[in-house]
Structure 1
Amino acid sequence: GKEVNAYLEQQSALSSQPSVGLEKWTLIQDVLQKLEQPTYYISTWQYQITFSLVPLGEVIRSHTDPIEALNDFYTTYNRIGVISKEKSEAVRVLQKRMQRTENYLEEAFQKLVTVDGDVKNEEIGHILMANLHQIPERAERVTLFDFYRDRDIDIKLKSDLSPQRNAETYYRKAKNERIEIDKLHENIALREGELEDLKNHLQEIEAFESLKLLRKYLKNNSLLADAPILSPTQLFKHTEFEGYVILIGKNAKNNDLLTKKYAYKEDLWLHARDVSGSHVVIKYKAGRKIPNSVIERAAQLAAWYSKRRTETLCPVIVTPKKFVRKPKGLPEGEVVLDKEDVVMVEPRGL
């Protein structure tokens, strides 16, 4: 059955050398011996409690008496099998979302490579403007010297437009091209942040040993299989600055959601000092220090989305999320800080 095949694969993976020829035969003989003189194993395999004749996955207990083994399996399954099953389903959902996000990122990066590799519309506009006197009226195509690449380039024209108007058309396309590239960069940064969040959720889920706490975590973070998939960018105001995702709470309840569920210990947390306002979070990038320019921009947003919006300068608290606590009983949106720095900025919105 599949358990035996999985066991063979598991043993092959543990071997220091690939299982070929004699090694495979030895493994098969070992399995046959186990089946002929059975020991009954209760183990955790693929997040589920498994009853098997081979030591598959992480063995919990083993028995030589089949009745004793079945009784133990029944008890164990009822005690921890349910949480293992629900954890397995949650992991499956997360991995599916992660795969979807990774696929998007791969496509987006490929599109960026394609755009970067093409001749830019702005460059074509410059080439046309530098050679207006060489372009015949009502021409549909023209070959000109590309001084960016030191070779000739064939340029498509609209015959009903003058050479200068054709150049202006390419400049308009260039503006849209820049908007598209900027949007791609923004979406990539946002999706990278979402992917990091999903990885953090995966680590959290794998550590749960209480079914009640697991279910609460899955519900609070919209990670149930039948729950609508809401990304941070759907839940909060957001922007991207210099490759960093900045999330902004919409109200007190939304602030709590952002700080408690979508901010992790290495993220930077910001809030206008001594007044009510939005929680602002800069998503951390592994191995990188968040630049001061990004912190300043996020602080401007924290100031703008606060009661200090109309002030010339606003003090804004900046601290890693790990120093932000939400003790039980605090009103929505309120937190306790164990450590903080303050920056002075001019309020500025999105």
Structure 2
Amino acid sequence: MLLPLYYVIPVLGGYALTSYYLLRNPHILHKKKKLPFYCRHISHRGGAGERIENTLEAFDNAMSNHTDLLELDCHMTKDGKVVVSHDLNLLRQTGHDLNICDITYEELPLYRESLEVTFFPGHYSSGSDRRIPQLEEVFQRFPHMPINVEIKEETPELVKQVSDLVKRYQRSERTIWASVKDPVMKLCQEENPNMPIMFTARRGLILLLLYYTGLLPFVPLKESVLEMYMPSIINRTYFPSNQLMRNRFLVFLQDKLMMRKGLFQHLQARGIQVYLWVLNQESDYQRALECGADGIMTDYPSELRSYLQRYEGGQRTRSEAQGSVTDNRHGNSY
């Protein structure tokens, strides 16, 4: 009865050691991806806490705060214009119960004068710009800025139009295809395979399964970006519509399973950037960086900028202090 153990234990031990070694050294099996941009500061809907979301004014404000990536969402009007809007139905944003796909661009209503921040209930933004812009306007205004374009609806014509705009403005390498839905992402990849892509919800679950079974170091990954929510913001600044997602035990379990520095480091060693969303408090900024995330997605670009300046200044001060200690130990104090 014990004889099989003499074979099973060494095999499992060898597998575990090999998996661990390759997890730390993924370059042995995988060529490192090389995105032409690195994003630390990411503006969610252009910074929906400081200006009305997804407006040119919001994007301008994000740029003035040295954002590294603009995050936005797209839909298509009845007359074929690709517009920047999070919702397909405009009731929340404008007060008018209309679907973007059912009206022309000229018929689009203005945003409300004051709009509640989705990921910070009880907080509102306003601005002088209340117009829903076209995606082409954003590309024209910010030709060199990396942009994360989320496609929410499985609409082949919308995907084609977005792809055509990306190609026209020669920005395939600095525009990310984003969607949580596999069918939508498949359409995006087929239409423009040169654009980097994020993990969909299903692919994210597979990623975690591969990580915890030790298979991740052996499996190639097509994605270049992991965009995920930080579970600890649930029931504080993020209230999922699914009541089950708000269960305290499930939130705790998600946090323990998802916020793994070892996982983030492995992905980064493979050239895959990790972004956490949507973080609107300094304690959340701090935790994201402590967990090893590359980028922080926020509704408050100016607040994140201020925090990162202090954080990076503190990092430099500590580095210089450590260098001074090292010099003193070697008798090289200046």
TM range (shorter): under 0.3
TM-score, structure 2 as length reference: 0.21
| Bigger CA radius of gyration | 1
Bigger proportion of residues as strand: 1
Taking structure 1 as the reference length, the TM-score comes to 0.21
